[in-house]
Structure 1
Amino acid sequence: MPNIGDFWLGYTGVVMLTNAFAQLKLLQLADSALPIGSTAHSYGVESLVAEGQLGVAGLGQFMRAFIQESGQLEAYLANQAWQLADATAFDQAWLDLNDHAAAFKPARESRHASAVLGRRLLGLALQLEPLPRWQQASTLAQSHQIETHHSCVFGLVAGCLAIEAEAMLAALLQQMTLSLILACQKILPLGQVQAQQLLWQLHPTIKAVVAQTPHMMLADLAPCSIGLDGASMRHPLLGTRLFIS
């Protein structure tokens, strides 16, 4: 066994890290400034604002629904991927999980955004630390011509770094929530302090979703139903757009 502060690489490419070092890597991977393009997407929020369906006053309620619905789906996918980090039967499970991710995203724009971010995150991870399992995941996707979705990649990367599932899920939901709040700041009169207050107030909702995720089954999930899918589909029709989706 490694000494405190050491790490070792298993045959599946799982790196065992001390908690502090693992958290440091998680902070980097969950940073909104990570160069994978997350700030270029609003996932339909820009359409809702342009149509007058969303404003600052209703943002808190909207974000809570977003975390409980879209966030729950992404958390489930990430948790399943996390469990595949050292799985012996990896190949088909990885392909199926990404197929499920695509199937639960009826809006082409959101589905494409998820795939682009996943592909870029996996590519960046391989440049940072080319672990065998990450390479296996990338090679499988290329050979079977499927997309690797962001939440699936995030969970797999965290699992291979031996980051605890609860911490991984909280970081993913925080990242998703913050990205959407930052998008709102560009298209709504939402100040920096207001944005941070909003994110802080959403922590109990994030905590509840994290707690529920290990008990979720695929049959319990449903596509987003808070209007984001429809808004994403209408996004290309906007006369002026700040975001890709």
Structure 2
Amino acid sequence: MTDMSAARPRLSGGPPGGSAGRAGARAALLVLADGRLPAGGHAHSGGMEAAVVDGGVRGLDDLAGFLRGRLATAGLLSAAFAAAACQISHGHDETRAPAAGDLLAALDAELDARTPSPAQREASRAQGRTLLRAGRAAWDLAGAALPAAPHHPIALGVIAAAAGLEPADAALAAVYGAVSGPASGATRLLGLDPLAVTGLQARLAEELERTATAATTAAEDAVASGALDLLPAPSAVRLDLLAQRHRVAPVRMFTS
């Protein structure tokens, strides 16, 4: 059997050089953002199931409002921390992995402080663990310094760096996931027209780009200044409440 491990991109101080290497890295972004990636995302609705149960989302218009609200809060948060984790991973090679590990642990703690809902913390770490399993099957993470059971955005940023992606790419993958998961969940829960939901997601493209750009800028500033506490901390009280209600629901289609 051919050993494919040597073909995996290694974690280094930055994206691979040359146009061919960058093209390969961009293709890796598609892999990370693909809903079919076996990283457990299909089991989480991002609060959509609880929102449908309490009547907050009943149709396409409600879904649009929910996705925009989630993008501006949980989406921005995830994107900023994914970008920061990617930047930290790029800035520390294997010989300085302990220093990177300390920074990533501090980053993980900052994200924990911004996630007041125990249910959301649990879901984020569960998705982080599953994403790491998928990431290790695709890229060489041997040189990556990771905290134990990292939050999903932290795992996403580290894997993006291992794949040769930039912080902006990690942020874009994060904001896409912040809306694609709930959108898919709404289609299944409400029986919405998949074409209409796809059209809605396409119309959000510019907002996704703006959010990812803002998150990347915030991450670069925070990491460069060594002040991780300056990373965004948007509040999403409704999402927190939905997560807690869903956690104790007697019947659930999704884990979160």
- Which TM-score bucket, shorter chain as reference? 0.7 to 0.9
Q: SS of the counterpart of 1:84?
A: helix
In structure 1, what is the equivalent of residue 165 of structure 2? 163
Q: Distance in 2 between matches of 1:44 and 1:36?
A: 18
Which of 112, 117, 121 is the equivalent residue of 1:102? Answer: 112
Amino acid at match of 1:132: A
In structure 2, what is the equivalent of residue 117 of structure 1? 127
CA-CA distance at 1:166 after TM superposition: 2.3
Which of 172, 175, 181 is the equivalent residue of 1:173? Answer: 175
Q: How high is the TM-score relative to the length of structure 2?
A: 0.82
Q: Distance in 1 between matches of 2:83 and 2:77?
A: 10
CA-CA distance at 1:170 after TM superposition: 1.6
Going from structure 1 to structure 2, the CA distance change for 1:226 and 1:202 (only over 3 Å counts) comes to farther
In structure 1, what is the equivalent of residue 16 of structure 2? 16
CA-CA distance at 1:105 after TM superposition: 1.4
Segments of structure 2 that go 5 or more residues without pairing to the other structure are 1-6, 223-228
Aligned pairs for 1:80-229 within 5 A? 80-86=84-90, 87=92, 88=96, 89-134=99-144, 136-137=145-146, 141=147, 146-216=148-218, 217=222, 218-219=229-230, 221-225=232-236, 227-229=238-240
Segments of structure 1 that go 5 or more residues without pairing to the other structure are 1-6
CA-CA distance at 1:75 after TM superposition: 0.8
After TM superposition, the structure 1 stretch with the greater mean CA deviation from structure 2, 88-97 or 70-79, is 88-97
Please give the per-residue CA displacement for 1:166-207, whole angstroms capped at 9, x wherever unaligned.
233222211221111001111123111011011101111111
Q: Distance in 1 between matches of 2:162 and 2:83?
A: 12
In structure 2, what is the equivalent of residue 44 of structure 1? 47
Tell me if structure 2 keeps the 8 A contact 1:8–1:16: no
CA-CA distance at 1:165 after TM superposition: 2.5
Q: Distance in 1 between matches of 2:247 and 2:163?
A: 38
Going from structure 1 to structure 2, the CA distance change for 1:53 and 1:8 (only over 3 Å counts) comes to closer
Q: Distance in 2 between matches of 1:119 and 1:178?
A: 20
Amino acid at match of 1:192: P
Is 2:84 the counterpart of 1:74?
A: no
Q: SS of the counterpart of 1:185?
A: helix
Q: Distance in 2 between matches of 1:10 and 1:40?
A: 30
Amino acid at match of 2:111: A
Amino acid at match of 1:120: T
Q: How high is the TM-score relative to the length of structure 1?
A: 0.85
After TM superposition, the structure 1 stretch with the greater mean CA deviation from structure 2, 40-49 or 191-200, is 40-49
In structure 2, what is the equivalent of residue 241 of structure 1? 252
Tell me if structure 1 keeps the 8 A contact 2:79–2:216: no
Moved over 6 A (4+): 7-11
After TM superposition, the structure 1 stretch with the greater mean CA deviation from structure 2, 98-107 or 73-82, is 98-107
Tell me if structure 2 keeps the 8 A contact 1:38–1:117: yes
Tell me if structure 1 keeps the 8 A contact 2:139–2:162: no
Q: Distance in 1 between matches of 2:203 and 2:133?
A: 34
Q: What percentage of aligned pairs have identical amino acids? A: 25
Q: SS of the counterpart of 1:106?
A: coil
In structure 2, what is the equivalent of residue 62 of structure 1? 66
Instruction: Count residues with an aligned counterpart.
Output: 231
Amino acid at match of 1:130: D
